[in-house]
């Protein structure tokens, strides 16, 4: 709300500490070196299988040793609110699998009218951001709320709310930060090559997420997953610097910068004036591996909570869970109600 940042097209124009972190091309644990040996393909496919809830469900107990059964955020609602006492709650919401249910066709992952209304009410109570792997325009075309922050392309395209909305005090509505703009032409080229290379694989879908590209495996026969992974690798061998991460039956091709949803969360907190504050309580909700970066940041800061949206136990740094988008909506509605009608002895900010 206070320290709004300038329009940024290149990494060097952001706040200093972001310049430092994005120029550090550290290889992250989750990413895969596409120049590596043939086992990369197997590892992609194994990880895609492992991230499928039906596979997790049918896993043997020994494979679940690192899986965490989290307490329900709904059941712990009052305790969470007690923890937030005297602090400004800031809401961070992932889109797919959190605000909208997972569906086969990524172009039809619509948010329900009820969920939109809930997020609208939420944004009147707390600064609210949607943090998604999708490109900003696509998320906006689904959500259609001008009063919230958006961090599209896994946080590589951060926009502020439109002028005149409650949590927007500056006069400039628009782009806050785009740390990967120099990679736009390359990602576009890779997107086109992937479309061409995979066009004969039934069900394969390549999504242009502007600063990254997504390769969808969901509608491809599982027997063809290895073939599709080979096609992806054959394109990426000409772009050895690009990173590959995994989501729910999707491979995400990203620029080689050390930037993710966790960094986006920190950037937004700083933009909102909460960089070095103890009186802020961020709540991040997400269902995917890419949301783990944000959960980790909250743990490291010792601030707020991460809520994993999942019916099944997963390896996670979140503190609580909700089962599915409908329960996310119940939680958000309860939060709005709590803000308006706090229970006895509680004073929401």
Distance CA 44, CA 217 (A): 11
* Smallest distance from ligand L263DTV3 to CB 252, Å: 6
The set of residues, in sequence order, having a beta carbon less than 8 Å from that of 38 and lying 6+ positions away, is none
By the rule CB under 6 A, 248 interacts with ligand L263DTV3 = yes
Whats the size of the chain, residue-wise? Answer: 349
Distance CA 31, CA 14 (A): 25
By the rule CB under 6 A, 95 interacts with ligand L263DTV3 = yes
By the rule CB under 6 A, 260 interacts with ligand L263DTV3 = no
- Is residue 307 classed as helix, strand or coil in its secondary structure? strand
Q: Of 51, 12, 9, which is closest to residue 30 (Cα–Cα)? A: 51
Phi, psi of 96 (to 5 degrees): -70, 130
By the rule CB under 6 A, 254 interacts with ligand L263DTV3 = no
Number of residue whose CB is nearest ligand L263DTV3:
133
**Degrees to nearest 5, angle at CA 178 with 7 and 113:** 95
> Judged by CB under 6 A, which of 159, 197, 249, 289 binds ligand L263DTV3?
249
* Smallest distance from ligand L263DTV3 to CB 105, Å: 7
* Smallest distance from ligand L263DTV3 to CB 330, Å: 20
Residues 144-163 that bind ligand L263DTV3 (CB under 6 A): none
Phi, psi of 337 (to 5 degrees): -65, -45
Q: Looking at beta carbons only, is 290 or 321 nearer to ligand L263DTV3?
A: 290
Q: Looking at beta carbons only, is 247 or 255 nearer to ligand L263DTV3?
A: 247
Contact by Cβ (8 Å): 325, 118: no
Distance CA 335, CA 342 (A): 9
Residues 269-288 that bind ligand L263DTV3 (CB under 6 A): 288
Q: Looking at beta carbons only, is 87 or 249 nearer to ligand L263DTV3?
A: 249
**Strand ranges inside 263-347, DSSP E:** 280-286, 305-309, 320-322
* Smallest distance from ligand L263DTV3 to CB 136, Å: 11
Contact by Cβ (8 Å): 125, 335: yes
Give the CA count within 13 Å in the CB-facing half-sphere of 41: 16
By the rule CB under 6 A, 290 interacts with ligand L263DTV3 = yes
Q: Of 88, 127, 118, 129, which is closest to residue 348 (Cα–Cα)? A: 88
* Smallest distance from ligand L263DTV3 to CB 290, Å: 6
* Smallest distance from ligand L263DTV3 to CB 298, Å: 16
The set of residues, in sequence order, having a beta carbon less than 8 Å from that of 169 and lying 6+ positions away, is 1, 2, 4
* Smallest distance from ligand L263DTV3 to CB 347, Å: 33
By the rule CB under 6 A, 218 interacts with ligand L263DTV3 = yes
By the rule CB under 6 A, 96 interacts with ligand L263DTV3 = yes
By the rule CB under 6 A, 255 interacts with ligand L263DTV3 = no
| Number of chain residues interacting with ligand L263DTV3 (CB under 6 A) | 24
* Smallest distance from ligand L263DTV3 to CB 85, Å: 30
Distance CA 100, CA 305 (A): 21
By the rule CB under 6 A, 209 interacts with ligand L263DTV3 = yes
Q: Of 167, 231, 172, which is closest to residue 199 (Cα–Cα)? A: 231
By the rule CB under 6 A, 132 interacts with ligand L263DTV3 = yes
By the rule CB under 6 A, 214 interacts with ligand L263DTV3 = yes
Distance CA 308, CA 319 (A): 8
The binding site for ligand L263DTV3 (CB under 6 A) comprises 94-97, 102-104, 106, 109, 132-134, 207, 209, 214, 216, 218, 247-250, 252, 288, 290
């Amino acid at each position: 709300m206070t320290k709004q940042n300038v329009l940024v097209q290149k990494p060097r124009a952001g706040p200093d500490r972001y310049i430092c972190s994005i120029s550090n091309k550290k290889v992250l644990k989750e990413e895969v070196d596409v120049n590596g040996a043939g086992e990369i393909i197997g590892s992609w496919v194994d990880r895609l299988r492992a991230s499928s809830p039906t596979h997790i469900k049918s896993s043997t107990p020994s494979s679940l040793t690192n899986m965490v059964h989290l307490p329900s955020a709904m059941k712990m609602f009052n305790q969470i609110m007690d923890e937030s006492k005297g602090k400004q709650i800031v809401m961070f919401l992932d889109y797919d699998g959190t605000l909208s249910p997972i569906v086969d066709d990524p172009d039809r992952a619509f948010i329900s009218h009820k969920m939109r209304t809930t997020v609208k009410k939420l944004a009147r109570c707390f600064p609210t951001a949607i943090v998604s792997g999708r490109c900003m325009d696509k998320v906006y075309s689904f959500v259609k709320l001008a009063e919230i922050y958006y961090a599209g392309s896994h946080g590589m395209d951060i926009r502020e709310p439109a002028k005149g909305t409650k949590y927007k005090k500056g006069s400039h509505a628009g782009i806050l930060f785009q740390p990967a703009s120099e990679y736009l032409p390359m990602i576009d080229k890779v997107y086109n090559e992937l479309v061409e290379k995979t066009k004969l694989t039934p069900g394969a879908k390549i999504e242009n997420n502007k600063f990254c590209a997504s390769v969808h495996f969901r509608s491809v026969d599982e027997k063809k997953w290895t073939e599709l992974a080979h096609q992806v690798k054959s394109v990426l061998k000409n772009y050895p610097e690009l990173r590959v991460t995994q989501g729910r039956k999707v491979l995400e091709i990203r620029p080689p910068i050390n930037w993710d949803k966790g960094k986006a969360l920190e950037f937004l907190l700083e933009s909102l004036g909460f960089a070095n504050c103890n009186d802020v309580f961020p709540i991040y909700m997400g269902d995917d591996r890419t949301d783990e970066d944000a959960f980790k940041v909250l743990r490291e800061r010792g601030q707020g909570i991460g809520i994993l949206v999942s019916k099944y136990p997963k390896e996670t740094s979140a503190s609580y869970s909700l089962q599915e988008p409908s329960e996310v909506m119940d939680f958000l509605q309860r939060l709005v109600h709590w803000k308006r009608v706090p229970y006895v002895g509680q004073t929401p900010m």
